[in-house]
A and B are shown apart, each in its own frame.
Chain A
């Protein structure tokens, strides 16, 4: 059974970096058939896809234009997990963040992490 377990702080100060990790069990971050995604949800923006990382003989990333200058999604093959780093956060980045596996489409989701950006 595939599971995604999220971890990371729930409170981040403005201008700092939001960092979350998604640990994978039952699949591999290096899978040639899956992609590994981050999505956030807020009342103002609804469900917003942020980006993904995936392996197809080499590593690829895709990012949403809205966060492209601030986001990095990294795989960690040694720990079978992937991470989200969003820098220069503002209160508008306050949201419920999810990781998700995509095997056309996103079929397994993490439990969600509420992140508040506040001083």
Chain B
């Protein structure tokens, strides 16, 4: 199984400031045939299912604010929120879909400082 490890486990950021969440995979999730990273980021708010924010490591889903961005390749990835808004308080997860079993990071809880 591909182990996904996020850091930090929790993060407190002031409104308007940048938030950065890291995700490391136990093996590369870059597929050589198409040069795509099979890495997604999700946002989960209390009482809701995870919401897909970013696919292919850096492609924002339709309707996701552009303050959210993803970067990285191979085994190291980052989710950045450029200017934190109150509605961004949530738990964020990375997930690899390179191979089954699909695996998730343990989550990063983002709060307002």
Contacts and interface: CB of A to CB of B under 8 A. Distances in A.
Given A49-B100, A62-B100, A105 B93 contact: no
A102 B49 contact: no
Query: From DSSP, what is the main secondary structure of chain A's interface residues?
Result: strand
Contacts of A112: 49
Contacts of A37: 102
A40 to B, nearest CB: 11
Nearest to B1: A65
B79 to A, nearest CB: 14
A49 B52 contact: no
Given A64-B101, A104-B97, A105-B55, A47 B61 contact: no
Interface residues of B, number: 19
B102 A49 contact: yes
Interface stretch (B11-19, B82-90, B103-111): B103-111
A112 B46 CA distance: 12
B95 interface: yes
B21 interface: no
Given A46-B104, A47-B104, A49-B101, A104 B49 contact: no
B74 interface: no
Contacts of A98: 49-50
Contacts of B49: 98, 100, 109-112
Contacts of B23: none
Interface of B: 1, 38, 40, 49-52, 55, 61, 93, 95, 97, 100-104, 106-107
